[in-house]
Chains A and B, each alone.
Chain A
Amino acid sequence: MSLYAQRVETKLRRNSPDWAAARHRCRAYRRRILDLSQQVTAMHVAPAFSCVEIVDLLYNNLMRRDANGSYRDVFLMSKGHGCMVQYVILQEQGFLSQNDLDLYCKPNGRLGAHPDYETPGIEASTGSLGHGLGMATGQAYAEALKGSEVLIYCVLSDGEFQEGSTWEAMMMAANLRLDNLIAFMDYNDFTGLEQLSEAHPAFYPLVPKAEAFGWEAVAVDGHDQAAMHAAVMGRRGGRPLLLVCRTVKGKGISYMENVAIWHYRSPNKEEYQQGLRELADEAR
């Protein structure tokens, strides 16, 4: 852990890492998302699967809790279409009920395909891309102004880094030297239509771009929680941190991995059964 992190990461409650348990949890989350995918015809399964390890790391490790169990740190899901993984974790932790999940995208339910502010555990309404980092910057600035020790975590899709508004936020967060802001880019290399690296070569390089905008930036495997944890704990401070997390869209289900259509599609019955088998095989 860097000296900076030692100073900031105070005595607030935090689970010590257990990566084997985390792998088990992540498999369970994927399975529950697959189950939910059978309730609606279209949902963002693959974009949720690419950030399961990231979001699990936040809720079950990085975000610190008060003695009463409530989260002190804040997580803002800028890539709102990845919120299925957030929902299943919030349900597991008691912020949402099973009934909430059963009514996902249904009349009388309160959970839609994008997260809505003031739903328990949801820190901002997102869905339209390129909004989250700006709000996270404002949140981080407010906490800095108050002199609090709260950290603001934000998960963005790679596609959101095509939005000019995200770069306005990148610039401003660095200008304000917001070292209480930690962002994760879910770099799965696919937007809704196609593969980023093929269609938009000028999108790269990513780490030097972020560094040029005044951020500390680290490239890391977005399915390797120990690596992401080490990157966060090793941050130097004095500026915001971006983890460029290389991920696989649809991670864990062979037919879904790196196939653009799964940005929107839900598996049919056969595909669902195959998905369950693959997750079970992985567990063995």
Chain B
Amino acid sequence: MRNRFADTFYELGKADARLCVVVADISPAGSIARFRAEFPRRFINTGVSEQIMIGMAAGMAQRGLRPFAYTIATFTLYRPFEMVRDDLCYQNLPVTIVGIGGGVTYSTLGATHHAQEDVAIASTIPNMSVLAPCDPAETESATRWCASQQVGPVYLRLGKAGEPDLTSKAQQAWEFGKVRQLRAGGDVAILSYGPIMKRAMAVADRFEATGQRAAVFSIHTLKPLDREGLSRILETYKRGVVIEECAPNGSLAMRLKELAWDLRAGCRLDTFTLKDEFIHCYGSHDDILDAHGLGTAEICSRLKLA
């Protein structure tokens, strides 16, 4: 994802001199390094200073530029939270905050580096849009949208590296603010976003193995939430499953249940989120997701698919 973001940004940046990157001491990977070499003045490293990263991005946007503020997800939102809220969102400026390693991607670095609440926190701020693509292709679509949109600030939540292609066979194209069906099926709807989509697909396979046809939807735009598209899903399917890499409070799961109540929806809804706790263990990204109760086997067991 990181590389596809970089490649896309580089290509867009060559054509649009307003695009700039403001990073806080993160090594520019792949094409961002190339962007820095070719356009050194449009790459700004504020050092280990996240408040000025966001503050500067706001000021640059006020004078007509299109900055992307880019660092590890926790440091894009948590440290400079008030700058994100006041400077970007209150003033509704077209700045993209790129959070690398959203969720618990930085699995060995401990909870200081786990952005387990990033989507929930970003979604609470007025004017903020929240995008969480599930694979490199969705990352490219989202990046293109961020570079040209006139809506306001965006939190673009990315994984890191090695995410497989999950969307090339999808019938529907990526469209901002719309749920996207990645896989067809009539018995159960699985909703997910971000790199954990890989596990959602595996769970869908297990449904298929038991003779149930599972549709999979990418909820790549967490804010604004596509209430119409989600309502259609809640009204069409008898059973829904949410699998997401986000703390429960403010999660897609919570918001979907709220919508289901408003709709008096009668479907069964099983939701799987990160736990509302700090995990004191280490390992791969997969290991930490397992520790949060999001192992494919555990999800299937709780769904009685064993």
Contact = CB atoms under 8 A, between A and B. Distances in A.
A140 B46 contact: no
Interface string B99-117: 0000000000000000000
A116 to B, nearest CB: 8
B62 interface: yes
A145 B41 contact: yes
Contacts of A138: 55-63, 67
A142 interface: yes
Give the residue among B42, B52, B61, B86 with the most A Cβ atoms within 10 A: B52
A142 B65 contact: yes
Contacts, number: 98
B90 interface: yes
Interface stretch (A7-15, A50-58, A165-173, A210-218): A165-173
A125 B59 contact: no
Contacts of B63: 138-139, 142-143, 146
A70 to B, nearest CB: 15
Contacts of A118: 91
A141 B54 CA distance: 14
Given A138-B62, A139-B59, A125 B52 contact: no
A134 B41 contact: no
A135 interface: yes
A123 interface: yes
Given A117-B91, A131-B87, A165-B83, A141 B52 contact: no
A113 B196 CA distance: 46
Contacts of B60: 138-139, 141-142
Give the residue among B41, B57, B62 with the most A Cβ atoms within 10 A: B62
Q: What's the dominant secondary structure at chain B's contact region?
A: helix
A197 interface: no
A141 B59 contact: yes
Contact of B91 (A124, A134, A176): A124
A123 B58 CA distance: 11
A135 B55 contact: yes
Given A134-B59, A137-B59, A142-B60, A125 B86 contact: yes
A240 B62 CA distance: 20
Contacts of A135: 55-56, 58-59, 62, 87
A164 interface: yes
Contacts of A123: 62
Interface string B32-62: 0000000001101011010110111111111
Contacts of B61: 138
Give the residue among A125, A138, A141, A164 with the most B Cβ atoms within 10 A: A138
Nearest to A138: B59
Given A140-B59, A142-B64, A142-B65, A168 B51 contact: yes
A85 interface: no
Contact of A145 (B42, B83, B91): B42
A179 B83 CA distance: 24
B96 to A, nearest CB: 15
Interface in A109-150: 117-118, 123-125, 127-128, 130-131, 133-143, 145-146
Contacts of A117: 62, 90-91
Nearest to B59: A138
Contacts of B54: 134
B56 A128 contact: no
B55 A137 contact: yes
B82 interface: yes
B59 A136 contact: yes
A128 B86 contact: yes
Given A123-B62, A172-B49, 4 more contacts: A133-B55, A134-B52, A165-B55, A165-B83
9 contacts: A124-B91, A131-B87, A138-B56, A138-B58, A142-B63, A165-B83, A168-B52, A169-B56, A172-B52
Interface of B: 20, 41-42, 44, 46-47, 49, 51-52, 54-65, 67, 82-83, 86-87, 90-91
